Structure 1
């Protein structure tokens, strides 16, 4: 395939059938982007392969077999396993559109392993793709066409939103959207703990905390207003919210979250350097 905007006519191959790959596969099927019969996967874990065959996807015995059956290859292996996966392909990615979701593996590294004819896209998705609310950043290799990018967007937007960034910002995107869900889970857990501290039952506190975060996030996305403006709309003079905001500022919440994103981004850069 030299590049086509018709995802329905494209054969998709996934090297790896873990949580991220399965989220992407199920999202594509659910959105009608591709039929299950047009997808092939490989994975060393038998249970992962069986979970995919239950969806109607073809499970293959090797990465090379997946490559032979596919127009687009999605590399969903761990960064530490990428070199071995590229070696196993042994040129099987030549001339194909190849999408990598492995953290810290650059376009240059992928192109070196796949050959100069491979059309390479680097993607950083996140785990909320499992429930159709993912956020993905992606960057394009030099040989990727506009039609290729359309296919990439069909894949990523079947499980959430996607934004194109320069490759130099992929580590930053990893620190924010790749690791960010864990930071939000920690916030939800802490809010739930706060609810329990003031007398709410744990199950009720957790549901209320999670829905509060979901609702606040949707307000940001759907109103287009700055988070600070929305915060001020809840914050009455001398009221309960400003008392809580004061406590958050005293505890350094903003600085801690900024530091967390920065630390995750720096670690992504270290992984790219093999450290």
Structure 2
């Protein structure tokens, strides 16, 4: 069994680690972590994850080192542990840091892969992008694919598509939560209790996504199958089109990429 170590245990890293443990892929005791915010580490103790005193200890105790810090501090963090990372396997979730960038930051003996996960991994419904170009061994790459497959779906993505892929699967959960909230608000306005409205909206979003994945039908076909001539659904569709829903989502992806 490999040992996983997390340098940084923010919301995304917590979702990944929680998913790995709850899926049964790896016991919590085989995961260690360090974060400046001790409360984040305390929160993960319920999953058996071992809190360590600094990043150096994490690297020493781990076969795979997950770099999960903010982009603005990643270079200083890597510089501090660069010597420790020699000969190690690194998995990074840091936005904007791809294979080429890490080649300039890490020792040549450090093998590395950039991934773009999302927070639904905490409930094993995640979407993780794995950069096509990497320097992990075949066995290491297979292990990471298995790990992320245990908490959702994976896609090996060409390097030039990692940015837009990350904007779609990484940022869009926030947009979907807004959709759920807005749909529920509409039902609440018509008299439905909020908890019931959230359940109906969330399950509808979940079921609709699964139906598209299972059938592989174009979303437009699935939409047409629900919209009867002159019916209530087509009136709702018109209201959304009048409000510029499509343009709003397209613009959201564009803005997510233009940091």
TM-score, normalised relative to structure 2 = 0.94
Runs of 4+ in 1 over 4 A off after TM superposition: none
Distance 1:52 1:187 in 2: 29
Q: 2:34 is matched with which residue: 35, 38, 42? A: 42
Query: 134-143 or 247-256, which moves further after superposition?
Result: 134-143
Tell me what 2:235 maps to: 243
Q: 1:107 is matched with which residue: 83, 99, 111? A: 99
* Matching of residues 1-275 of structure 1 within 5 Å: 9-267=1-259
The alpha-carbon deviation at position 34 of structure 1 amounts to 2.0
Unmatched segments (≥5 aa) in structure 1: 1-8, 268-275
Distance 1:16 1:224 in 2: 37
Residues 99 and 134 in structure 2, CA contact (< 8 A), matched pair in contact too: no
The alpha-carbon deviation at position 53 of structure 1 amounts to 3.4
Residues 176 and 265 in structure 1, CA contact (< 8 A), matched pair in contact too: no
Aligned length: 259
Tell me what 1:270 maps to: none
Residues 13 and 40 in structure 1, CA contact (< 8 A), matched pair in contact too: yes
Distance 2:197 2:3 in 1: 45
Residues 23 and 159 in structure 1, CA contact (< 8 A), matched pair in contact too: no
Query: 34-43 or 129-138, which moves further after superposition?
Result: 34-43
- Deviation digits for residues 97-148 of structure 1, max 9, x if unmatched? 1100111112222222221121111111111112111111110444233222
Distance 1:145 1:55 in 2: 29
Cα 1:236–1:26, aligned 2, differ >3 Å: closer, same or farther?
same
Distance 1:213 1:98 in 2: 35
CA RMSD of aligned residues (A): 1.6
The alpha-carbon deviation at position 207 of structure 1 amounts to 2.0
SS at 1:205 equivalent: helix
Residues 119 and 141 in structure 1, CA contact (< 8 A), matched pair in contact too: no
Query: 235-244 or 198-207, which moves further after superposition?
Result: 198-207
Unmatched segments (≥5 aa) in structure 2: none
Residues 107 and 122 in structure 1, CA contact (< 8 A), matched pair in contact too: yes
Distance 1:127 1:40 in 2: 19
Distance 1:188 1:34 in 2: 32
Greater relative contact order (CA < 8 Å, ≥ 6 in sequence): 1
SS at 2:86 equivalent: coil
